[in-house]
Amino acid sequence: MSTIERFEEIEAWKRARILSNEIYQITFLRNFSKDFGLKDQITRASGSVMDNIAEGFERGGNKEFIQFLFIAKGSIGEVRSQLYRAKDLKYISETQFREIYNLTVEIGKLVGGLIKYLSNSKYKGTKYKP
């Protein structure tokens, strides 16, 4: 297995980047763009997912990385909850909701798998071997 040397190589980060972009796209929609509170909260939460994966990776060890991955996982849940609000307020369609919801579930599984792997790993440095 190869060693990952940059956070940009982590699949969970790549998918979180897509999530963040999708969230920004939907928040430009007519009614959504006018709900400044929800728009701000969901864009910050989606950005937090990728940012915490990156920051944790750069911290220097598995313990801190795992801590940041748990924060990222919490942000994924926050985005998912806010998606319900956006759907209930009819800012997004059922199709948009499902697509982004499924992406949050996928990222949650990737982050959870990474947490499990790192928790069981004997290697404690910043670079890990998936």
| φ, ψ for residue 128, nearest 5 deg | -130, 160
Tell me whether residue 125 is in a domain: no
For residue 51, what are the contacts with CB-CB under 8 A and spacing of at least 6?
none
Q: Is the pLDDT of residue 25 over 90?
A: yes
Q: Give the CA distances from residue 103 to residues 15, 35, 82, 112, in Å, rounded to whole numbers and listed in that order.
A: 8, 23, 14, 14
pLDDT of residue 60: 78
Q: Which domain holds residue 107?
A: 16-120
Tell me whether residue 63 is in a domain: yes
Region 7-20 average pLDDT: 97
Q: Give the CA distances from residue 101 to residues 11, 68, 79, 115, in Å, rounded to whole numbers and listed in that order.
A: 18, 22, 9, 21
Tell me whether residue 68 is in a domain: yes
**Model pTM score:** 0.90
pLDDT of residue 124: 55
pLDDT of residue 2: 63
| pLDDT tens readout for residues 60-95 | 788 999 999 999 999 999 999 999 999 999 999 999
pLDDT of residue 127: 52
Tell me whether residue 9 is in a domain: no
Q: DSSP alpha helices (H): ranges in 59-123? A: 62-88, 94-120
